Chain A
Amino acid sequence: MSEVVLDVRGLTVVFPTHAGEVRAVSDLRYTLHRGETLGIVGESGSGKSVSSLALMGLHNRERTRISGEATFGGRNILALSSKEMQDLRGKDIAMIFQDPFACLHPMHRVGDQIVEAILTHADISKKRAEQQAVELLREVGIPKAGDRFKDFPHQFSGGMRQRAMIAMALVHSPSVLIADEPTTALDVTVQAQILELIERVKRDFNIGVILITHDLGVIAETADTVLVMYAGREMEYGTAREIFTAPQHPYTWGLLRSMPTIEARLKELVAIEGTPPSLVAVPSGCPFHPRCAYAFAPCPTELPELRAIPGGHLDRCHLSPEIKREMGEANVAERLGAVR
């Protein structure tokens, strides 16, 4: 496999609040290679975004406790000073966000915002930076880039704004691109174009991409590896093929069953019962046990280890591999046919 660009070990993010400690992310671990798309999937509040913002150093330092290690370029970036982190941000690790309507400054020209990103980390003339910015806008598929360079964000469509955000993220050819629900706010047709664009820049720039989404369809289309998160913990982690053909965790089953597909249109969608837990009071044992149809004796008291199952990928569940194979097949087999 290609070079490892980011190695996350035991990432934990805690927000101390008046209501108690919010454990948004607990003991997260994953490895990202160049040219790999890692899909992080989970419901709202599962810690997907929080973990990525921690890698970017975008949490308020005084109000967040971050522990663990994230090795990037031979350094643990979680231990960097804010100045060192500032040098890294937007240069080696870049990020794009969910709502392109809100993410660009409404009062600055799109081109100027990209030029600013260039000049933040490069000591070149403004003129040269402007040329680069126009080139990048062209690269991400904005027609008449030279003219649109002078536009304000409100003159761009949603898809074009997200393209501009991607151009802005690419200015320094980062090694890692974090895309936090990049298509959630867009039309379905535009979604596909943006995902394609992310795929293309990933190949062209040889970037490791972390794609955060709650949409398994997006994951199925683009991800090489998949990490399923619940209540701040990873529940299952494997290649996309493993997750979609042999899902091990009851939560993953639930996610797959609640995903609409064309082939399964006649079958009813099955929602996961209940709501995600409050992060102030995460259930004891396996955090998913109150909503799990398969919970048994050890689940409410003992947190299962993240362990490798025969065949390779990791999951966090007390059920025996045999039961899981049986149940998994019975539960999601038909629906999985569609995604496969």
Chain B
Amino acid sequence: MPLYIARRLLWAGVVVLIVLLLTYAVFYLLPAGDPALRFAGKQPTPESLALVRERLGLDQPWYEQYGKFVKSFVAGDEFGWPGLGISYNTQIPVIDQVTERAPRTLLLILGAAIIWLVLGVAIGVLSAIRRRTLADRAAMGFVLIGISTPVFWLGLMALFIFWNKLGWTGGTGYIPITEDPGGFFSHMILPWTVLALLFAAIYARMTRNTLLETLGEDYIRTARAKGLSERKVITHHALRASLAPIVTMFGMDIALLVGGAIITESVFNIQGLGWLAIDSTFNQDLPTVIGVVLLGAVAVVIMNLIVDIAYAFIDPRVRYE
């Protein structure tokens, strides 16, 4: 197992570098303005522009820039490790920008994930064991609404009702938990719930379907033939076997949200990684884009590894060497 993990991590490094190469290529293939224009300040002279280009290495072909980037990325630069350089736009080190934004997004995902996992699995189990009853139909109605409601609309409605009209929660914006824990929760509860609702719906449906399939397995009949209570049949036997697909999807969803919770971040003005990605893309700010892409890619690769390791714990038939 340790050897397997080491090998996987090595591959993860290769994958990350390939992703960054593609990002470079795309960035330079896109028809767009000159990043040096932004860096050089207002009304730059051609001389100062050329100076900026040279300093940023923008006068070299993109693959050479990529080579340089990889070198400083691996070795680190004056702002720390990994070396990501400085933002073209704000002239703040990318690594500082990313580390400032990352906790917002990660805390948003963490809270939402807890809600959607608990809610989704609970609703899924309930509707599977109460199949074809009113509860099942209500649950599947919830699923349909959850899947088809746009997040931006739901977010705005939630803000309107719970903040504007009822005043139960905080409004938009982000308050660090270290500054004001109460304010943090009051501002996060709506984004958590709104983001979680869509996923809860998807997880409820998947849990229901997987569980129903598992309940038709022969070993479930064996469990019943032992005289186990239906409750034990579900918890000890059926749910255990239904875990694998849920874990897979959970890992992937978490990873994708690292750079992809853009709409929720926008509606609630959280300004996390998704917001940073959009902002830097519009501003031709390649170093910052690279920083966000890097984090997203690392998240995907790491979550994949975690999911695969979790498999070995869930299913004894899975062995890695």
Chain A interfacial positions (CB closer than 8 Å to B): 56, 58, 86-91, 94-95, 97, 99, 102-108, 116-117, 120-121, 152, 154, 165, 168
Bound together, the chains give a CA A120 to CA B225 distance in angstroms of: 11
Give the contacts of B272-321 with A (CB-CB under 8 A): 314-317
Q: Is the pair B226, A120 in contact by a Cβ cutoff of 8 Å?
A: yes
Q: Closest chain B residue to A82 by CB distance?
A: B230
Distance in Å from the Cβ of A265 to the closest Cβ of chain B? 35
Return 5 A-B CB contacts under 8 Å, by A number: A91-B227, A102-B218, A103-B219, A116-B228, A154-B316
Q: Is the pair A89, B316 in contact by a Cβ cutoff of 8 Å?
A: no
Bound together, the chains give a CA A90 to CA B225 distance in angstroms of: 6
How many contacts A-B (CB < 8 Å)? 68
Q: Is the pair A107, B240 in contact by a Cβ cutoff of 8 Å?
A: yes
Quick check: is B236 within 8 A (CB to CB) of the other chain? yes
Q: Is the pair A107, B227 in contact by a Cβ cutoff of 8 Å?
A: no
Given A99-B218, A107-B315, A116-B236; A58-B241 close (CB under 8 Å): no
Q: Is the pair A106, B219 in contact by a Cβ cutoff of 8 Å?
A: yes
Quick check: is B68 within 8 A (CB to CB) of the other chain? no
Residue in B218, B219, B229, B236 whose CB lies within 8 Å of A86: B229
Q: Is the pair B314, A120 in contact by a Cβ cutoff of 8 Å?
A: no
Binary A-proximity of B227-243 (CB < 8 A = 1, otherwise 0): 11100000011001100
Besides A58-B221, A94-B225, A154-B316, 14 more A-B contacts (Cβ < 8 Å) are A58-B225, A86-B228, A87-B227, A89-B224, A99-B218, A103-B219, A103-B221, A104-B219, A105-B237, A105-B240, A107-B315, A116-B226, A120-B226, A154-B317
Bound together, the chains give a CA A152 to CA B229 distance in angstroms of: 23
Quick check: is B59 within 8 A (CB to CB) of the other chain? no
Given A107-B241, A154-B316; A102-B217 close (CB under 8 Å): yes
Residue in A56, A88, A106 whose CB lies within 8 Å of B317: A106
Distance in Å from the Cβ of B239 to the closest Cβ of chain A? 11
Quick check: is B223 within 8 A (CB to CB) of the other chain? yes
Quick check: is B60 within 8 A (CB to CB) of the other chain? no
Give the chain B neighbours of A117 by CB distance below 8 A. 226-227
Give the chain A neighbours of B90 by CB distance below 8 A. none
Give the chain B neighbours of A121 by CB distance below 8 A. 227
Distance in Å from the Cβ of A239 to the closest Cβ of chain B? 29
Quick check: is B222 within 8 A (CB to CB) of the other chain? yes
Distance in Å from the Cβ of A90 to the closest Cβ of chain B? 4
Q: Closest chain B residue to A56 by CB distance?
A: B225
Q: Is the pair A97, B221 in contact by a Cβ cutoff of 8 Å?
A: yes
On chain B, the number of residues with a Cβ less than 8 Å from chain A's Cβ atoms is 20
Q: Is the pair B226, A106 in contact by a Cβ cutoff of 8 Å?
A: no
Given A97-B221, A99-B218, A105-B241; A152-B226 close (CB under 8 Å): no
Given A120-B226, A120-B227; A106-B221 close (CB under 8 Å): no
Q: Is the pair B221, A152 in contact by a Cβ cutoff of 8 Å?
A: no
Chain B interfacial positions (CB closer than 8 Å to A): 217-219, 221-229, 236-237, 240-241, 314-317
Give the chain B neighbours of A105 by CB distance below 8 A. 219, 222-223, 237, 240-241
Q: Is the pair A103, B228 in contact by a Cβ cutoff of 8 Å?
A: no
Give the chain A neighbours of B224 by CB distance below 8 A. 58, 89
Q: Is the pair A90, B227 in contact by a Cβ cutoff of 8 Å?
A: yes
Bound together, the chains give a CA A95 to CA B217 distance in angstroms of: 16
Give the chain A neighbours of B241 by CB distance below 8 A. 105-107
Q: Is the pair B225, A95 in contact by a Cβ cutoff of 8 Å?
A: yes
Given A106-B219, A107-B241; A152-B317 close (CB under 8 Å): yes
Bound together, the chains give a CA A318 to CA B221 distance in angstroms of: 40
Distance in Å from the Cβ of A163 to the closest Cβ of chain B? 14
Q: Closest chain A residue to B244 by CB distance?
A: A107
Q: Closest chain A residue to B219 by CB distance?
A: A105
Distance in Å from the Cβ of B136 to the closest Cβ of chain A? 13
Q: Is the pair B316, A102 in contact by a Cβ cutoff of 8 Å?
A: no
Give the chain A neighbours of B315 by CB distance below 8 A. 106-107
Q: Closest chain A residue to B228 by CB distance?
A: A120
Interface centre among A90, A104, A107, A152 (most CB of B within 10 A): A107
Bound together, the chains give a CA A88 to CA B225 distance in angstroms of: 9
Q: Closest chain A residue to B132 by CB distance?
A: A62
Residue in A88, A104, A165 whose CB lies within 8 Å of B227: A88
Given A91-B227, A94-B225, A116-B228; A102-B317 close (CB under 8 Å): no
Q: Is the pair B221, A89 in contact by a Cβ cutoff of 8 Å?
A: no
Bound together, the chains give a CA A106 to CA B315 distance in angstroms of: 8
Q: Is the pair B222, A89 in contact by a Cβ cutoff of 8 Å?
A: no
Give the chain A neighbours of B227 by CB distance below 8 A. 86-91, 117, 120-121
Distance in Å from the Cβ of B241 to the closest Cβ of chain A? 6
Residue in A103, A152, A154 whose CB lies within 8 Å of B222: A103
Q: Closest chain B residue to A99 by CB distance?
A: B218
Given A107-B315, A116-B236; A97-B222 close (CB under 8 Å): yes
Q: Closest chain A residue to B317 by CB distance?
A: A154
Q: Is the pair A107, B316 in contact by a Cβ cutoff of 8 Å?
A: yes
Bound together, the chains give a CA A117 to CA B227 distance in angstroms of: 8
Given A105-B241, A120-B228; A165-B316 close (CB under 8 Å): no
Distance in Å from the Cβ of A119 to the closest Cβ of chain B? 10
Q: Closest chain A residue to B220 by CB distance?
A: A105
Q: Closest chain B residue to A104 by CB distance?
A: B219
Interface centre among B217, B227, B240 (most CB of A within 10 A): B227
